[in-house]
Amino acid sequence: MFPSSLTKNLIQKFTLIFFFLFTSSLAKPINQDSIFLSLLQTIDLSPNDFSLSLSQEDKDTFRLEIVDQLLTSSIQLEEKAKQFIDSIPYLTYLDGHKVNPTDSIQFKWEQIVNQSITIRNEFWKDIPEYEKKEILEKLPTIYEESDELEDLDIFSLYALREASADSFRQFVKLIKKIPKSIPWEDNFQQLLGFVLQLKPDSHWNAFFGDLNFSQHPNVLGKTLAWKSTQYGEIVIGSVEDNLYRGNFAVVIDVGGNDTYFGKVAAADETCPVSFLIDFEGNDLYSCDSAFSMAGSINGISLLLDYKGNDTYRGNLWVQGAAICGISMLVDKDGFDSFVADRNAQGCAAFGKGYVYDFGKNDIYQVRMYGQGVGLVNGYGTLYDKTGDDQYLATPRYTDVLRYQDHSLTLSQGFGYGLRPYFSGGIGILYDVSGSDLYVSDIYGQGASYWYALGILWDQSGNDRYLSYQYAQGSGIHISLGLLHDESGDDVYISKGVSQGCGHDYGTGWLQDKNGNDAYQCSELSQGAGSANGIGIMIDDEGDDVYMNRNSEMTLGYGNPRRDYGSIGIFMDKGGTDRYADIFAKDGGYWQRGIRGVGIDLNRK
User: DSSP assignment, residue 142?
Assistant: G
List, in order, residues 6 or more apart from 158 with CB less than 8 Å away. none
User: How far is CA 447 from each of CA 413, 480, 538, rounded to the nearest angstrom?
Assistant: 7, 7, 17
Environment class of 206 (CB within 10 Å of its CB; exposed 0-12, middle 13-18, buried 19+): exposed
pLDDT attached to residue 382: 98
SS3 state of residue 76: helix
Exposure pattern of 557-572 as b/e (b: 16+ CB <10 Å)? bbbeeeeebbbbbbbb
Whole-angstrom distance, CA of residue 352 vs CA of residue 301: 11
Alpha helices in 180-231 (DSSP H): 185-196, 205-208
* Sites in the chain below the pLDDT cut of 50: 1-12, 14-15, 18-19, 21-22, 25-30, 101-104, 157
Find out whether 556 and 530 touch, Cβ atoms under 8 Å.
no
User: How far is CA 374 from each of CA 61, 174, 347, 396, 440, rounded to the nearest angstrom?
Assistant: 16, 20, 6, 21, 17
Whole-angstrom distance, CA of residue 289 vs CA of residue 266: 10
Find out whether 269 and 245 touch, Cβ atoms under 8 Å.
no
User: Which residue, among 364, 442, 384, 448, has the nearest Cα to 413 in the 3D structure?
Assistant: 448
Whole-angstrom distance, CA of residue 406 vs CA of residue 329: 30
User: How far is CA 570 from each of CA 139, 190, 333, 490, 599, rounded to the nearest angstrom?
Assistant: 41, 47, 40, 18, 6
Quick one: the chain helix, strand, coil %, rounded to 5? Answer: 25, 35, 45
Residue type, 282: N
pLDDT attached to residue 92: 87
pLDDT attached to residue 549: 86
pLDDT attached to residue 163: 58
Phi then psi for residue 39, to 5 deg, are -65, -40
Whole-angstrom distance, CA of residue 545 vs CA of residue 586: 10
At residue 185's C-alpha, the angle toward residues 182 and 189, to 5°, is: 165
List, in order, residues 6 or more apart from 423 with CB less than 8 Å away. 60, 62, 63, 64, 67, 376, 417, 450, 451, 452
SS3 state of residue 350: coil
Find out whether 258 and 278 touch, Cβ atoms under 8 Å.
yes
pLDDT attached to residue 316: 97
Whole-angstrom distance, CA of residue 377 vs CA of residue 213: 44
pLDDT attached to residue 58: 75
The residues that bridge with 491 in the sheet, in sequence order, are: 464, 518
Whole-angstrom distance, CA of residue 516 vs CA of residue 110: 56
Whole-angstrom distance, CA of residue 152 vs CA of residue 202: 58
Is residue 20 within a helix (H) or strand (E), and if so which, with residue range? helix 5-23
pLDDT attached to residue 153: 54
SS3 state of residue 430: strand
Exposure pattern of 121-131 as b/e (b: 16+ CB <10 Å)? eebbeebeeee
Whole-angstrom distance, CA of residue 570 vs CA of residue 201: 58
Find out whether 138 and 172 touch, Cβ atoms under 8 Å.
no
User: DSSP assignment, residue 398?
Assistant: B
Find out whether 437 and 390 touch, Cβ atoms under 8 Å.
yes
User: DSSP assignment, residue 253?
Assistant: E
* Alpha-carbon torsion, ordered 497, 498, 500, 502, to 10 deg: 30
Find out whether 273 and 191 touch, Cβ atoms under 8 Å.
yes
Environment class of 395 (CB within 10 Å of its CB; exposed 0-12, middle 13-18, buried 19+): middle
At residue 354's C-alpha, the angle toward residues 194 and 326, to 5°, is: 60
Whole-angstrom distance, CA of residue 497 vs CA of residue 402: 14
Whole-angstrom distance, CA of residue 299 vs CA of residue 493: 40
pLDDT attached to residue 573: 94
Whole-angstrom distance, CA of residue 71 vs CA of residue 441: 26
User: How far is CA 391 from each of CA 90, 337, 430, 449, 456, rounded to the nearest angstrom?
Assistant: 23, 10, 11, 20, 11
Residues 416-433 have pLDDT tens digits of 999 989 999 999 999 999
pTM of the model: 0.93
Pairing of strands 232-237, 223-229: antiparallel
User: Which residue, among 264, 252, 258, 241, has the nearest Cα to 198 in the 3D structure?
Assistant: 252
